[in-house]
A and B are shown apart, each in its own frame.
Chain A
């Protein structure tokens, strides 16, 4: 009974978090000086940058300008948001990433009722009820990104690795300025991801009647272009689904969010 209840809670909580948008929000995007610190908030919510659910910061990493990945030095999980701090001892561009290994879940029907278990195709075989029908297993991976630059920018930490769903920062994030075009390229396994729908939102939605979100779609080269009208902090949300059949899943879903700052001209 206890086990069942726990499983139910896990399913519920992961569902409710899944329905929200996860983001990371660094205290600064641009820093000058030597030996400085960054604090990062992690939360998931429906309204951009209005903290709602404090997500575990356990899988939060910071990639240093030399490409080395490190866990955060100190962290705290709060109810509405979580926080982590790290010392930035090197000059250059850092990538903050909250994302873990892919998760698998299997959807099925028993006696006309839709159900879900957190299991990949192989594991589901032994866990599924005998009369389960309409069985599909999805591979799901999500990550939240932000880029921070101390003194002169570089590109080592933000260069795509050719793995999974990624952003290629055509315009360096330290150069985003209101009224100037920003370019990104979306990649799947290092190849251009065409036709991916992306939503852009700007902070302060709570104080505007019209959230004024912008929807874009990546072109044949996977490219996106956006010219922000206002300086401020923005969130880019992108996700794609594909019927990629593997030994562990029938399809895949990948999503990412990117928190970025647009400076004054």
Chain B
């Protein structure tokens, strides 16, 4: 499992993975879309490791289970296989606006993730609308930085900050 090895703590914290106390902010933007029939998008925010395995579901905004499959990558990577996690993380759909999400560098079990390469995914799918997928590859290395992904049809600019 992803426990911090005792020896690591004893010898030198800095040299060891996993990292301590990551403070990350994810700014998700749901754009205003002018259309006759506007339904709020279904949105999933999650993190995959270097093997493209999901390690952390940060947010899931949705309503009916029937349309969960339309958040395509989310559904394939984690939604279809982990009903308990989906239920636990489900939040209401959001209206257009900026949303600030916080992540402490932990996985779905609350354990700190080891140093390494990860990818942040934000996927939005709107009924009678489109589907957009943003991704930001990043490295958990203890350093602060800010990364951005350009705006798409269903998602405004994505900003990922590690403080």
Contacts from A to B (Cβ < 8 Å): 30-34, 36, 149, 151-153, 174-175, 177, 263-265
CB distance from A44 to the nearest CB of B (A): 29
- List the 6 closest pairs (A to B, CB-CB), nearest first: A33-B66, A33-B65, A32-B69, A32-B68, A152-B81, A30-B69
Q: How far is the CA of A18 from the CA of B4 in the complex (A)?
A: 64
Residues of B within 8 A of A34 (CB): 65
Q: Which residue of B lies closest to A150 (CB)?
A: B80
Q: Which one, B5-13, B71-79, B102-110, is touching chain A?
A: B71-79
Residues of B within 8 A of A31 (CB): 66, 69
Are B73 and A30 in contact, with the CB atoms below 8 A?
no
Contacts A151-B83, A152-B81 known; A263 to B76 CB distance under 8 Å? yes
* B40 contacts the other chain (CB 8 A): no
B: interface residue count bin: 10 to 19
Q: How far is the CA of A174 from the CA of B68 in the complex (A)?
A: 15
Contacts A31-B69, A33-B64 known; A174 to B80 CB distance under 8 Å? yes
Q: How far is the CA of A65 from the CA of B73 in the complex (A)?
A: 23
Are A152 and B72 in contact, with the CB atoms below 8 A?
no
Identify 7 new A-B residue pairs, CB closer than 8 A, beyond the known A31-B66, A151-B80.
A32-B65, A32-B68, A32-B75, A32-B80, A33-B66, A152-B83, A264-B72
Contacts A151-B83, A152-B81, A264-B131 known; A32 to B76 CB distance under 8 Å? no
Q: Which residue of B lies closest to A28 (CB)?
A: B69
* B67 contacts the other chain (CB 8 A): yes
Q: Which residues of B (50-88) have their CB < 8 Å from a CB of A?
A: 64-69, 72-73, 75-76, 79-81, 83
Are B76 and A177 in contact, with the CB atoms below 8 A?
yes
- Selected from A33, A149, A263, A265, the residue in CB contact (under 8 A) with B68 is A33
Residues of A within 8 A of B69 (CB): 30-32
